[in-house]
């Protein structure tokens, strides 16, 4: 995919605010600080379009980025942030659930995980939840530059086993720092855009 331009469109809190042009949407989920904004910036060749430190308090916002006239990235609020109240967590869950259940344009979910660590309980729950709705998922293991190449496969296997990765779901390695996996991820995304 050649990214000619990318724009931040809206931080949506209600479905009425979602774009209505019907372009395919790719959702991005991951725990706070996992590197979601950095991944978006790397994918669209921008330093700072997605805020490099997303505000953990903003639990209700779906951030829409349009890429060319081709698709949207829909950035979910990061999960697993300890200081979020139970009520906020419930609001988060409801909003994401509504989106996952009802959004016809949604083609693929990117579940962003830190390659260095086994998936957290929240990561496992998120994956199971996405599979409960029968959505295609690509697990993206980021921060690969922080692990020696010789250990990549071992870490990927730990992630794959912990999530019980379903047949058909992809798992790719990524680094926002050096660009590892960028082309591969675009290939996965463009394949799903046509579904
Ligand atoms: P978000 O909260 O998920 O949006 O996470 P950010 O994109 O803000 O990243 C959190 C921290 O991890 C920042 O300090 C980033 O610079 C760092 N980071 C993100 N991705 C990578 C990566 O691929 N490699 C390295 N070395 N650091 C990364």
Question: Per-domain residue ranges for the chain?
Answer: 25-193
Per-residue pLDDT reduced to its tens digit, 98-152 = 999 999 999 999 999 999 999 999 999 999 999 999 999 999 999 999 999 999 9
End-to-end CA distance of the chain: 16
Question: What is the assigned CATH class of domain 25-193?
Answer: alpha beta
Residue matched to tokens 């729950």 = 125
Per-residue pLDDT reduced to its tens digit, 178-190 = 999 999 999 999 9
> What does the chain come to in residues?
195
List b or e across 76-104, with b for residues whose CB sees 16 or more CB atoms inside 10 angstroms.
Answer: bbbbbbeebeeebeebbeebbeebbeebe
Q: Which of 131, 151, 138 is nearest to 193 (CA)?
A: 138
pTM for the model stands at 0.95
Residue 54: CB within 6 Å of ligand 1?
yes
Nearest-CA residue for ligand 1 atom 6 is 35
């Amino acid at each position: 995919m050649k990214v000619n331009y990318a724009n931040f469109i809206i931080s949506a809190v209600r479905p009425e605010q979602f774009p209505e042009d019907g372009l395919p949407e790719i959702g991005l989920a991951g725990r706070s600080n996992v590197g979601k904004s950095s991944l978006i910036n790397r994918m669209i060749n921008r330093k700072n379009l997605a805020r490099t430190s997303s505000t953990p308090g903003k639990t209700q916002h779906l951030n829409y980025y349009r890429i060319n006239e081709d698709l949207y990235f829909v950035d979910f609020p990061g999960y697993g942030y300890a200081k979020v109240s139970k009520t906020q967590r419930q609001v988060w869950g409801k909003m994401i659930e509504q989106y996952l259940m009802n959004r016809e344009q949604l083609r693929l979910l990117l579940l962003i995980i830190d390659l260095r660590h086994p998936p957290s309980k929240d990561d496992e729950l998120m994956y199971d939840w996405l599979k409960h709705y029968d959505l295609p998922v690509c697990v993206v293991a980021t921060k690969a530059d922080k692990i020696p190449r010789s250990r990549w496969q071992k870490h990927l296997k730990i992630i794959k086993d912990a999530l019980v990765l379903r047949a058909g779901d992809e798992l790719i390695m990524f680094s926002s720092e050096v660009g590892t996996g960028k082309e591969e991820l675009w290939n996965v995304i463009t394949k799903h855009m046509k579904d």
